[in-house]
Structure 1
Amino acid sequence: MLLADVVTASASLAATRSRKAKIATLADLLNRADERELPAVVAFLTGRPTQGRIGTGWRTLAELGARPADEPNLTLAGVDEVLGEVGAASGSGSARRRADLLAELFTRATEAEQQFLFRLLTGELRQGALEGVMLDAIAAAANVPAEAVRRAFMLSGQLPVTAAAAVTGGEAALGGFGLELGRPLRPMLASPAESLDEAVREHPSAIVEYKMDGARIQVHRDGDEVHVYTRTLREITQHVGELVSLVRALPCRSVVLDGETLALTDDGRPRPFQETMSRFGSTREEQVRALLLQPYFFDCLHLDGTDLLDKPLRDRNEALRRVAGEHLIPGRTEPSDPDAILAAALDAGHEGVMVKALASPYAAGRRGRAWLKVKPVHTLDLVVLAAEWGHGRRTGYLSNLHLGARDPDGGPPIMVGKTFKGLTDELLAWQTRTFQEIETHRDKWTVHVRPELVVEIELDGAQVSTRYPGGVALRFARVVRYRPGKDPADADTIDAVRATLKGAAQPE
């Protein structure tokens, strides 16, 4: 298969908003790829090389200056091999080696192929938001149930691996995936509820527990071997020694737990989220001593040889209580006074509560209604698209943020508003430095960036507007914090923004 086939498919995907058309385009390409090409097809069209990050950035690619080829001749397998060599380059002279490999590759690429590769390697191609569409396309190409594909992906955590199994081995191969100790699962996600009353009405038989402003963790233990992962499945075991020791001491032989971890103040209140996240990349002993992490577990997916994913939450919670002990997240099962739990959570400095249906299985990687989050302040996680230079006291700083919501059908983020409110001097300095490192282009007033940073925005709903392409605009938006543990694929969708419309008909 030629790279040009993938480029053509990518252009077709960008040209339509029809989910059905996107699925058909992807399924056709998957059916035409051989087994060796499948991983690259899936990876490229979900916005990343098969190797992940390969150590090259926007500026390196922009300075290549390669003249495009007249006719397409690059094979998909050949391109994947070169990118593998670029990613493997290390040591003295590696920067020059990477640049030479990329220059040769771009010289052999047509103009359309160069543009595709540039966007792929700088993270501007879909950013993984096409994941759901790709899963449906894999099911269509392999003629297998979509749920079988989703479950295999939940367990493998890798789209290319899931696609290869589906297309080459069908439903039987997909059924071969199981929970594997030491291989992280995609976390189950929650949906917002308008109020606690609404959430309790929807789930009258439920657990109501604290919603903490911490970092999501998933821990795996097999004997004395322990692994700790973030919500993006990045392993952080080496940075969180106190969590490793704690999990190793739990009363079990093997376990997989889902939870949150926080750094606490001396009086037991949560420190700012950014301080907790700083531990995930630090090995400095003084910081380890100052910011010990406390885990709060809320789900048990495996215990002593028994997988619990398909068991109802009621059963999983019983297993959790047996193993987690004092590290169980605060909450109650079918409480008589859920408002009291919400008040206690807020009084302790947390965000709100979660209301979880006791009959629900663990739907990894899915954002359904089985788990509902209740927060007094309405917030959305949005993607930063650009920032404008400030005025007055903010002269010299990138200030006014351009914000985008995720397109659920895999297109680029859809702009829904701007804000400069809620930014501290520290955040302004960080933004100004960081945005210029991920800059794609600029004009006199605005620096446009790769859509890879997620920021939590507090807002008073949305209003119908023709100013932005989504047909809505944020009302009284204010920055709460950046979310370094989230990818753009985790951002809220344009549908979530439209759901906050106040007293107006939603746009068609």
Structure 2
Amino acid sequence: MAQDSVGGRAEPLPAVRPMLATGGQPLPAGRGWAWEFKFDGIRAVAAGDRNGIRLTSRNGNDITATYPELTVLGEALGSHRAVLDGEIVALDADGRPSFPLLQRRMHVRRPTARLTGEIPVACYVFDLLHLDGVSLLAEPYHRRRELLDELRLEGRTARVRVPPSRQDVDPRLLLDVARDNGLEGVIGKRLDSGYRPGYRSRDWLKFPLINTYEVVICGWQPGSGRRAGRIGSLILGAHDPAGGLRYVGHVGTGFTERMLTELLGLLQPIERSTSPFVGPVPKEYSRDAHWVEPRLVGEVVYRTWSPDRRLRHSAWRGLRPDRDAHEISLPTE
């Protein structure tokens, strides 16, 4: 599966880590940029052909079995072999990407037909990295996009979409369209930029409509009242430049009953007797804390960062099994 024939030998398609966008930058002015909508899902690299497709997450895990309906990517490629970059999204009743719905699919290794029917997913493909034995990583974005459009994947199946890429558009207007349609935001890409696997580049700039941050779960506090015997809040961390875990706040809202049950089942087996942080934690959160090995990554939505690098007004969004805990770092100045 996913092989190129070179000189009579079968060669596997390359494994490519996704290129990442940089946030917190001003909207660029002038020409030289293409603009795409930002969709609320998880990144995936698809490699293969009509004989089989392999899906890998941002941290390189094989997620093919988690999304079996996306094997139609291979059929859509027809006679071509390719490596594609895109976003897996779960669609709500209105056909809009929904991260809460995707959460119910992300942790199911082999979903039932009932689950795939209740929560359908699609792959929004936005880049072409390798085609028929030729690497396209050094090609400029506009050329990769031309070749992607020539594959004519759009419209072949509802499971595979190729969102438009626009050059002559005011990104502020595109942000308004994203806001009006409940999308996550927009991304700008330099037309002359190559593809840098695994690198967070300023050649790609992201402008989300909501503030989200990925965090390491370092412990939890027991709840009271309706949450007695369960999780009341999670204690969150991120790595400093030296690699030490620093406390960045806690989160006690945004959980569904399903999430609380799942989290408790995941955290209890990895409890530890000492704090994983290298620095102090406020006493009101450390006093009754159940510390855990810092292995699990989650995502929160928040309003601002405080001057001492604490998340303010945060709410839980869900676990991120597509991320490795050691990659989660404090925001840069």
Residues 347, 289 of structure 1: alpha-carbon distance in 2 compared, 3 angstrom cutoff: same
Asked if the contact 1:377/1:458 (under 8 Å) is kept, the reply is yes
Residues 418, 283 of structure 1: alpha-carbon distance in 2 compared, 3 angstrom cutoff: closer
Instruction: Say if 2:109 is the partner of 1:273.
Output: no
Aligned length: 305
Q: Which has the higher contact order (CA 8 A, sep 6+)?
A: 2
d(CA) in 2 for partners of 1:181, 1:210: 32
**3-state SS, counterpart of residue 146 of structure 2:** helix
d(CA) in 2 for partners of 1:344, 1:277: 28
Q: How does 1:287-306 map to 2 (within 5 A)?
A: 287-306=115-134
Aligned position for 1:372: 205
Aligned position for 2:257: 425
Asked if the contact 1:345/1:351 (under 8 Å) is kept, the reply is yes
Asked if the contact 1:252/1:323 (under 8 Å) is kept, the reply is no
d(CA) in 2 for partners of 1:431, 1:424: 11
Aligned position for 1:391: 224
TM-score (norm 1): 0.56
- Larger relative helix fraction: 1
Aligned position for 2:157: none
Residues 483, 266 of structure 1: alpha-carbon distance in 2 compared, 3 angstrom cutoff: same
Superimposed CA distance per residue, residues 424-448 of structure 1 (whole angstroms, 9 cap, x where no aligned partner): 3332222222211221127871111
Residues 328, 284 of structure 1: alpha-carbon distance in 2 compared, 3 angstrom cutoff: closer
- Larger relative strand fraction: 2
d(CA) in 2 for partners of 1:381, 1:241: 27
**3-state SS, counterpart of residue 237 of structure 2:** strand
Q: How does 1:14-25 map to 2 (within 5 A)?
A: none
Asked if the contact 1:435/1:447 (under 8 Å) is kept, the reply is no
d(CA) in 1 for partners of 2:260, 2:65: 31
Instruction: Say if 2:19 is the partner of 1:191.
Output: no
Aligned position for 2:330: 494
**Bigger Rg, structure 1 or 2:** 1
Q: How does 1:56-455 map to 2 (within 5 A)?
A: 181-193=12-24, 198-201=26-29, 204-222=31-49, 224-271=51-98, 272-278=101-107, 281-326=109-154, 327-409=160-242, 411-441=243-273, 445-455=288-298
* Aligned-pair CA distance for 1:255: 0.8
> Which blocks of at least 5 consecutive residues in structure 1 are unaligned?
1-179, 466-471, 500-508
d(CA) in 1 for partners of 2:258, 2:138: 45
Of residues 286, 302, 307, the one that matches 1:464 is: 307
Asked if the contact 1:440/1:449 (under 8 Å) is kept, the reply is yes
Asked if the contact 1:215/1:276 (under 8 Å) is kept, the reply is no
Asked if the contact 1:181/1:221 (under 8 Å) is kept, the reply is no
**3-state SS, counterpart of residue 495 of structure 1:** coil
Residues 334, 378 of structure 1: alpha-carbon distance in 2 compared, 3 angstrom cutoff: same
Aligned position for 1:80: none
Give 1:193's aligned amino acid. G
Asked if the contact 2:50/2:77 (under 8 Å) is kept, the reply is no
Asked if the contact 2:49/2:74 (under 8 Å) is kept, the reply is no
Superimposed CA distance per residue, residues 315-373 of structure 1 (whole angstroms, 9 cap, x where no aligned partner): 11111111153145423332323233223333333211111111111111111211111
d(CA) in 1 for partners of 2:24, 2:12: 33
> Which blocks of at least 5 consecutive residues in structure 2 are unaligned?
1-10, 155-159, 275-285
